[in-house]
Amino acid sequence: MSATIIAVANQKGGTGKTTTCENLGIGLAREGKHVLLVDTDPQASLTIALGYPRPDDLPVTPTDLMTNVMQERPVNPEETILSHTKGVDLIPASIMLSGLEVSLVNAISRETVLKQVLESVKSQYDYILLDCIPSR
């Protein structure tokens, strides 16, 4: 199994990206697919929608995973993946993601940092859906 990765992105805010991710993800899970949702938005709307009202209190965040990639330390996405009752897994977001942008500026191959995190879990899922921030 090697997941199909879909980024739900739109330049404009408030156009249904998060809602699409949530419903598409849960719909695919109902069809028996293994689905991972990735919240890449520091506003954490998808994380909150899936029932985690205080994402800023999570002990390990995707920011830690991407920092590990940049510092060439081992990456264990399992540490951040939350299992949701609707049959989808979730890598949640937190406000820490907004600071990550600054460290990414100087990172080598910065455009592949998230890709490297996802590479390590790709074999466990049929679909990985990314909820993006506006204007990306």
Ligand X SMILES: Nc1ncnc2c1ncn2[C@@H]1O[C@H](COP(=O)(O)OP(=O)(O)OP(=O)(O)O)[C@@H](O)[C@H]1O
- What mask, x for binding Mg ion by CB under 5 A, covers residues 34 to 63? -----------x------------------
Interface characters, 42-61, with ligand X (x: CB under 6 A): ---x----------------
Is 124 a residue that touches ligand X (CB under 6 A)?
A: no
Binding to ligand X by residue 39, rule CB under 6 A?
A: no
Least distance in angstroms from the C-beta of 36 to ligand X: 18
Q: How far apart are CA 35 and CA 112, in angstroms?
A: 21
Task: Return the number of the residue (40 or 67) whose C-beta is nearest ligand X.
Answer: 40
Three-state DSSP at 8 gives strand
Helix (H/G/I), strand (E/B), else coil: 108: coil
Helices 96-105 and 62-70: crossing angle in degrees, nearest 10, is 20
89 binds, among ligand X, Mg ion, none (CB under 5 to 8 A by kind): none
Contact 17, 9 (CB under 8 A): yes
CA dist list (Å): 104 to 46, 51, 67, 92, 99: 23, 29, 9, 19, 9
Among 15, 54, 109, 112, binds ligand X (CB under 6 A): 15
| Segment near ligand X (CB under 6 A); pick from 12-20, 25-33, 58-66, 118-126 | 12-20
User: What 3-state DSSP class applies to 4?
Assistant: strand
Is 33:124 a contact under the CB 8 Å cutoff? no
List of residues contacting Mg ion (CB under 5 A): 17-18, 45
List of residues contacting ligand X (CB under 6 A): 13-19, 41, 45, 134
